[in-house]
Structure 1
């Protein structure tokens, strides 16, 4: 019975990651229509609306302090999405995901135990060099910087989520922080993006919001009930690999051999950090 439960948990975790990457594929298409900032705002706003209606958080679930933490968390969530969507406008999906993944990896290493955990940043650094190819023209430097900035914000997000999760029951914190993220993102959107909104674009945006983060978040919660956090952390470390696969199959993005080895190094570093006990809490899928 436990084996069946674990197998179901693994399948749910993998399904969550696939949903995330499919949502990002939709996002890449929307970026061409309403820009990266418009796409980030549309995703956050629609996801926030869905969560607000579905969860209907009660004021009694918060104190003044915890509500303030949710507001800060919403601002950080907006920053992640704005930075990452902007990086997708310049980088392949797999490359952007691998660079963003460095943020959670650093949290895993810092919170881990044992001397071997310091090997993982070095391995990740090798992966970044292979991905960016700084001595051969490589990738767009601004795109790489944007993806890394998204990773830094993601690391901050993890720490904040741990605090909010300890003090706010259920998903009430997410149901407040996500609408706030949409509101914050609206201040950074080119006004032209609003004029380009059509019923078709809104429907596509709603599909994107369901794929990222609503459905993955539910799948993540179900998976965590069946898996240890260490096992879940290892599965989440495969995210850059899924991004490469989806990018290749659906977007025709070929990372090349150097890019493949670079992403493999980042994935291996994430797996190693997770095995070392670096993830006391799973990296939230809410940001993608």
Structure 2
């Protein structure tokens, strides 16, 4: 029994990480009327950077100029990805935005292999994306600006994985701390200019801290626990559930009701992501799963 409990713990940690992230993002959206998407994004990356700096204290270890450039590029993409995603969920449902964003790592994973089965997953993903951009008059249209931001976030997620690999030889915690600090230096000024002095209101800032803890600190910690006990392939498959969990969180917290077509689209993209990972050689999965 203790052995079974120990083997179950990493999976429970990963599921908790996904749920916490989606709940945190849903809560973040409730703050948009107060400080805007840019302001909430500034809270998330800014407070996350402070938390990670306090934990890892990366200044105690020197980096070469090349490593600093790699971490800076990684952080810049991280910040842009966060900002684009928050801008997307201003006008489109959370689950839909996550599903579109998943296209980035999905395309990247497929690009590493040219097996015939992967074209099936590409077709399924394209079908899902097509369903999210309905062409029949009876379907509820999505805001094109929100979709564009979600697509930009997808591109940034793919670049995040690529640039993360270039910094993979460095200590993970210190690299993320420096990367998040770079992200904060980029996003925070945008949030300050957009939201103005209200961003420094102590009560609202406290809510922003909650967003950072729920959306970054807790999920990151839980994923570290999960990665110790879950094979990379299984980790990636379970992570593919995130769009569906995001849609459920959006329904429960934000009352974002999706049409049947949108639920089918999310299911198609989840299936395409899981299928891609399951049919990709193990060594490629180890490289591509963030």
Q: Into which bin does the TM-score normalised by the smaller protein fall?
A: over 0.9
Which residues of structure 1 form unaligned runs of 5+? none
Asked if the contact 1:109/1:273 (under 8 Å) is kept, the reply is yes
Would the aligned equivalents of 2:232 and 2:286 in 1 still touch at CA under 8 Å? yes
Cα deviation for residue 102 of structure 1 reads 0.5
CA RMSD of the aligned region, Å?
1.7
Q: Quick check: 1:21–1:242 contact (8 Å CA) kept in 2?
A: yes
1:12 shift after superposition: 0.8
Bigger Cα displacement from structure 2, 168-177 vs 148-157: 168-177
The alpha-carbon deviation at position 282 of structure 1 amounts to: 5.8
- Matched with 1:119 is 120
- Tell me the equivalent position of 1:219: 222
Q: What is the TM-score of this pair, normalised by structure 2?
A: 0.93
State how far apart, in whole Å, the 2-side matches of 1:99 and 1:192 are: 26
Between the aligned partners of 1:194 and 1:183, the Cα distance in structure 2 is 16
Find the counterpart in structure 2 of residue 183 from structure 1: 185
Please list, as runs of the form range in 1=range in 2, the aligned pairs for 1:40-189 lying within 5 A after superposition.
Answer: 40-112=41-113, 114-136=115-137, 138-165=141-168, 167-189=169-191
The answer as to whether partners of 2:43 and 2:211 remain within 8 angstroms in 1 is: no
- Structure 2: distance between partners of 1:135 and 1:163: 44
Q: Residue 279 of structure 1 aligns with which residue?
A: 285
C-alpha separation between the residues in 1 aligned to 2:162 and 2:135?
A: 31
Of 64-73 and 3-12, the range deviating more from structure 2: 3-12
Contact kept in structure 2, 1:99 and 1:151, CA below 8 Å: yes
Residue from 253, 268, 271 that aligns with 1:268: 271
Cα distance 1:267–1:50, how it changes in 2: closer, same or farther (>3 A)?
A: same
Give the C-alpha shift of residue 190 in structure 1.
5.6
- TM-score normalised according to structure 1 size: 0.93
Where 1:138 maps in the other structure, the secondary structure is coil
- 1:27 is aligned to 2:33: no
CA distance in 2, matches of 1:30, 1:260: 26
Per-residue CA deviation, residues 26-78 of structure 1 (Å, 9 max, x unaligned), is 21011111111111111111100110011101353522111111111111011
Q: In the alignment, what sits opposite 2:251?
A: 248
The answer to whether the 8 Å contact 1:112/1:273 transfers is no
Contact 1:234 1:275 in 2 (8 A): yes
Following TM superposition, by how much is the alpha carbon of 1:4 offset from its aligned partner in structure 2, in angstroms? 3.7
Aligned-pair CA distance for 1:274: 1.0
Question: 1:275: how far off?
Answer: 0.3
CA shift, 1:279, in A, is 2.5
Q: 2:38·2:194 contact (CA, 8 Å) conserved in 1?
A: no
SS at match of 2:285: coil
Offset of 1:208 from its aligned partner? 0.7
Query: In structure 2, what is the Cα distance between the partners aligned to 1:59 and 1:113?
Result: 44
CA distance in 2, matches of 1:111, 1:77: 22
What is the alpha-carbon distance in structure 2 between the residues aligned to residue 79 and residue 135 of structure 1? 33
Write the deviation string for residues 138-179 of structure 1: whole angstroms up to 9, x where unpaired: 2111111110110100000011112212x2123110010101
Q: 1:260 to 1:125 in 2, by over 3 A?
A: same
Equivalent residue pairs, number? 283
Unaligned runs of 5+ in 2: none
